[in-house]
Chain A
C-alpha cells in the first residue's frame, strides 16, 4: 500500500485492498500453526492507544502484532494523560517521541486519527497511524476483515449485493464498508429508519451510487447475497431515534421469521455483524448463531487482516509476508 497511514478506506484503491486481502490470506495460515510466531516485525514497537473501550479490536491488533514479533503495548484512555486535561496533540506527540513505529488508535471522536497523523507528519515524525475506529466516521480494518470474510465464503464480490442494516448514522463500520465494497465490485443497499440515516444521505447515495431503503422486508425480498447487521449504538443516542426497542425489532431486526424468509429466497445468503451484538434487538439469537452467520469468521479474519495492515505499513512489503 502506498499511503503512510491507514486512516480511511479512501486511502486505498482497488489494488491496495486486493494486496491487503491477499496478504491477509497468507497471514491467516499463521493462525493455524502450532507455533504462532513469525519474525516479520521483530524490533518494531506498536502502541495500541485506545481512548475508547474495545476488547475485540484491541485484542485483535495486539495478537496481530505479537504473532509478527512486534513489541505491542496497550494504553487505554482512562489511564492516559487526556483524562488529566492534556490535549490530544500533546498526548500523541509524546508517545510518538518515544520512538514507536506505529500508533493503532481508537478514539470516540470522528477524525481523531486524521488529526494525529497530520500532527505527526507536520513534525517530521516517522510514526505511522492505523485508525482502529474514530467516532462515527470509519473503521477501515473492520471493512477489510468484512471483505475478507465475505470473499472466503462467497468468492469474488464482483456483482454481489450487500445490504447494510441498522443504526447507520452512528456506524463507522457502515462508512468504511460503503467505500470498500464498491471497490471490490459489490453493490450496496443501506436499510435504516429515516432517523438513523446519516445527514445528507439522499444526495450522498445519488452521488456515490448506493441505494437507500427504509423497508427491510422489501430489501430481503430482493435476495441480497449478504446481510450486514449493525449494532444499535444506544450509548451514542441522546434519545428519540425510534420509539421503542420493540418497534425497532419489528421494523429492522433480523428476527427468526425474517431470517427464514430470507434464507428461503437466498439459501447461500450470509449474515455479518461487527459485534458486540444486541441479541434480541437488531439480531435474533437464532440468526446470530445460524450456519449462515459469519460472526466468528469475522473475528478470526480480524487478526489476519490486521497482521496484513501492520506488515505493509511497517515492514514495507519486504520479502515474503509469512
Chain B
C-alpha cells in the first residue's frame, strides 16, 4: 500500500498541517510528515478539516433478506461517501442476526466489500420475538466479537427478559441498545407522534410517554444489574429528561439521537408522505430544540443515523401501511454540521465526539474514533465546513431512495474518507 500525504488540513479545527499515513496508520504530523513525503499519494486538503472517521452505532443494511433495498456492499458505499469508517449493522435482517454464524456472515460480507468496517449487532431475543434470549454469549465469542445487542425495530417490552439480557451481557461488558417505545401504549397501528396533528389527521400515534416510561424502566434495570443500557434514537424532551436523571443517579446509560430527529418535525406529516414515516416518529419543534440542547450539553452521547433503506414499493402504500424508516448515512454529517456546528451549538471537536469517538467507545471499536496522533489507525475523514450541499436522492449509492432531505441544502460536506490508510470515498463516490 502506498503512503498517503494529506496536505494543509486543519486537524480537528486546529492549525493547518500535513499528515503522513503509512501502513494504515498515522506515521507523522506537521513538518515530519512533509519531510517524509517520498512517493506518497498526495491529498490536497487546503481549507478542509481532518476528523477521525465517523462511526455509526445504528445502521440497517438489509442483508440478508432484503437485498433489493440494500446490500452490505451498497450500504458500505453509502457509509464511506458519508464519511464513515465503521458502521454497526442492526440485527433485524431476515434471518435475524441471532447466532454467532449469522454475525460472522455479516462481518465477512463487510470485509469482502472493504469500504467500512461492518460490525454486526446481535439481537437480544431469538428472532426479535421478545421472549427468549438469543445466543448472546456465542455471538460475543464468535469471530465477530459482538458487543452490542438490540431488537431494534421493536422494543424489548418484557421487563423480565430485559433484566436477564442485561445480567447476561454483564459477563463481557456488553451493551443492550434499546428501541425505547412501549409497544402496548399506543397499539399495533401507531405510526406517528401522538398530538394535535395526529388527532386532525386521524392517524394513530405514540405518546411521548411511551418512550420515557421504557427509558425509566431500563435505567432502573441498569442500576439493578450494573449493565450498560444504550437508548437508541431518543426523540422526546421527556425521554431526554429521564436520561439526564438516570445519569445523575449513576446508571450506566448512554443515549443517541438521529440527524432527522435533530432537524425534521412532526408537522411534515400533514401531507401523508411516507418518506417522513419513521420509528420512533418525528416529534414537534419543542422536542427537536430539547434534543439539540441535550446533544450540546452531553446528555446525549451519540448521533447515529438509523439509516433505514426501503425499496420504493414498500413506501408506496397508504401511510399507516408504508414501511418505517429513512436513509441517513450519506447526509448525516451535513445535517449535524448544519444544525449543531453552523448554528454555534457545538464545535467540530464536539461533532467528532458524538459522531466518532463516543460511538466507537460504546461499541468497543478500538481502531476507530481515535485521536489523530502518530501511531493511531488511519481511519479518517476530510470535511469541508464551508461547502454547500444540495441533496439529490437520485445521486445515492444506496439501493433505496427514501431520502427525506431531497432538494434541501446544507452547509458542511464530506470530501474524502480514509479506512486504514486507503481512500474509500472521495468527491461523493466510493472507491472499492
Contacts and interface: CB of A to CB of B under 8 A. Distances in A.
A110 B316 contact: no
B319 interface: yes
Contacts of B273: 115, 118
B205 interface: yes
A167 interface: no
B137 interface: no
A87 B317 contact: yes
A203 interface: yes
Given A87-B316, A199-B195, A200-B195, A111 B187 contact: no
Contacts of B314: 87
A214 B311 CA distance: 45
A106 B365 CA distance: 52
A163 to B, nearest CB: 19
Interface stretch (B42-50, B106-114, B196-204, B378-386): B196-204
Contacts of A87: 313-314, 316-317
Interface in B224-279: 271-274
A114 B272 contact: yes
A110 B313 contact: no
A172 to B, nearest CB: 6
Interface of B: 187-188, 194-203, 205, 207, 271-274, 313-314, 316-321
Given A169-B199, A204-B200, A238-B187, 7 more contacts: A88-B316, A110-B202, A115-B272, A118-B271, A172-B202, A199-B199, A199-B207
B196 A115 contact: no
Given A135-B320, A199-B194, A110 B203 contact: yes
A167 B88 CA distance: 45
A107 B205 contact: no
The residue among A112, A114, A199, A238 with the most chain B CB atoms within 10 A of its own CB is A199
A90 B314 CA distance: 11
Closest 3 CB pairs of A and B: A200-B196, A111-B272, A109-B318
B199 A115 contact: no
Given A87-B317, A135-B202, A238-B187, A199 B196 contact: yes
A89 to B, nearest CB: 4
A114 B272 CA distance: 7
A119 B318 CA distance: 12
B317 A136 contact: no
A175 interface: yes
Contact of B319 (A115, A138, A169, A198): A115
Contact of B201 (A88, A111, A115, A238): A111
A41 to B, nearest CB: 28
Contacts of A119: 316
B290 to A, nearest CB: 19
Contacts of A118: 271, 273
Contacts of B319: 109-112, 115
19 contacts: A87-B317, A88-B316, A89-B317, A107-B318, A109-B319, A110-B203, A110-B320, A112-B319, A114-B271, A115-B272, A115-B318, A137-B201, A169-B199, A199-B205, A200-B194, A200-B195, A200-B196, A200-B200, A238-B188
A107 B317 CA distance: 11
A285 interface: no
Contact of B199 (A108, A138, A201, A238): A201
A157 B252 CA distance: 62
A111 B194 CA distance: 16
A166 to B, nearest CB: 15
A88 B199 contact: no
Interface string A199-215: 11101100100000000
Contacts of A88: 316-318, 321
The residue among B198, B313, B316 with the most chain A CB atoms within 10 A of its own CB is B316
B184 to A, nearest CB: 10
Interface in A90-148: 90, 107-112, 114-115, 118-119, 134-138
B316 A90 contact: yes
Nearest to A202: B196
Contacts of A172: 202
B202 A136 contact: yes
Nearest to B204: A136
Contacts of B195: 199-200
A172 B196 CA distance: 15
A201 B195 CA distance: 8
Contacts of B201: 110-111, 137
Nearest to A93: B316
Contacts of A90: 313, 316
A173 to B, nearest CB: 11
